[in-house]
A and B are shown apart, each in its own frame.
Chain A
Amino acid sequence: MKPWNNKAWLLVLPTLVLVAFSAVIPLMTVVNYSVQDTFGGNRFFWAGTEWYEQILNSDRFWAALWRSLLFSGIILAIEIPLGVFIALHMPRKGVWLSVCLVLMALPLLIPWNVVGTIWQVFGRVDIGLLGRAMAELGVNYNYVNNVGDAWVTLVVMDVWHWTSLVALLAYAGLVSIPDAYYQAAEIDGASRWAVFRHIQLPKMKRVLLIAVLLRFMDSFMIYTEPFVVTGGGPGNATTFLSIDLVKMALGQFDLGPAAAMSIIYFLIILLLSWVFYAVMTRHDQE
């Protein structure tokens, strides 16, 4: 009979405990809140599916959802190709490689609220370098009261903050390709595009999947940077789902509707992440 080694259970136990306390128990609590109403004092009143119906029929929720989806779409459309482009043009060895890696890693080391503050000041028309420069150039730029300017500022800020993550991941994928592939392509007289299309892109697929998933989830859940830069404005133009959720939960203390919105938000992230995963791994399996 095959002996069972139960040591593996002990090894995964710390992770299970961590996940239970950081994810499972809070999620269960949110589910419990989503079907009840509370006015504080740990007293709850059964509300059933009322909050879900309220959220699903709320224009405010759908508007915030579309804004979040649009923001994530723009971010992925810019950061993934740009990151791959940068990775393709990074030096493969020497001192410039180290310089590149350090420069790439710098934005990733800055805390999110600091990034928001940097861009909030940078874009200000009265004292910010960007805002003043735009004014000097005759461009009517003001992210405080112009919707387009607010969106451009947030997108550029996110691209500045996170493209290097995509570039570093793509670079890791590129350096793992053995030289033999390039030599074979050279013998076959493959063009630069053919090398990219048939060697580099397929070999980067795994890391790009991680990059797409990370960037999608992060951009879809973005809170701190837009909150610091625009506060969700002008009006509600940059009020993404996360900002709307915090307004509802902490600003209005509507914990039941906020919990129902959290569950719907979580399910959308889960579904879209699975779709990305399925689409990107389908080709590998064929």
Chain B
Amino acid sequence: MDFSWMAWTTPTAIFFCVIALLLLSMALWERVSPGGSPRRGILGLETTRGDRLFLSLLGAAFIHLAWLGLVGPNLWQALGVSAIYAFFVFRFV
């Protein structure tokens, strides 16, 4: 099967592999500890682990965009900020 029309590159393939691995880890986590551990965090909303991952990924996307628009093309620092942000989301949201 030829997937050249999808214009794959190594960095984008790695990006999607990481997303797939994150989803797989969440599935395994759910298998080990079912129920999604719902709780009410600082937003006042009941969130599950899946919600917190969604917020982390969406926030990370905007952090990277803001970094590109305001700072520059070196995104490693944006990745670091995103990781800290994800930690706070999983801890407090």
Which residues of A approach B to under 8 Å, CB–CB?
Answer: 25, 28-29, 31-33, 35-36, 38, 42, 44, 46, 48-50, 52-53, 56-57, 264, 267, 270-271, 274, 278, 281-282, 285-286
Contact = CB atoms under 8 A, between A and B. Distances in A.
16 contacts: A28-B6, A29-B5, A32-B7, A35-B9, A35-B11, A36-B9, A49-B68, A49-B75, A50-B73, A52-B68, A53-B73, A57-B69, A267-B61, A271-B58, A274-B55, A285-B45
B7 A38 contact: yes
Give the interface centre of A28, A38, A44 by most chain B CB atoms within 10 Å: A28
Interface in B36-61: 40, 43-46, 54-55, 58, 61
A278 B45 contact: yes
Contacts of A52: 65, 68
Contacts, number: 64
Contact of B15 (A31, A53, A274, A278): A31
A198 B44 CA distance: 22
Contacts of B33: none
A25 B6 contact: yes
Interface of B: 4-9, 11-12, 15-16, 40, 43-46, 54-55, 58, 61-62, 65, 68-69, 73, 75
B58 A44 contact: no
Chain B contact residues, majority secondary structure: helix
Nearest to A266: B61
A286 B44 contact: yes
Contacts of B16: 28, 31
Nearest to A36: B7
Contacts of A42: 4-5, 7
Contact of A278 (B4, B43, B62, B69): B43
Give the interface centre of B5, B6, B46, B55 by most chain A CB atoms within 10 Å: B6
A135 B65 CA distance: 48
Nearest to A283: B44
A53 B69 contact: yes
A32 B12 contact: yes
Contacts of A278: 43, 45
Contacts of A29: 5-7
Contact of B69 (A31, A56, A282): A56
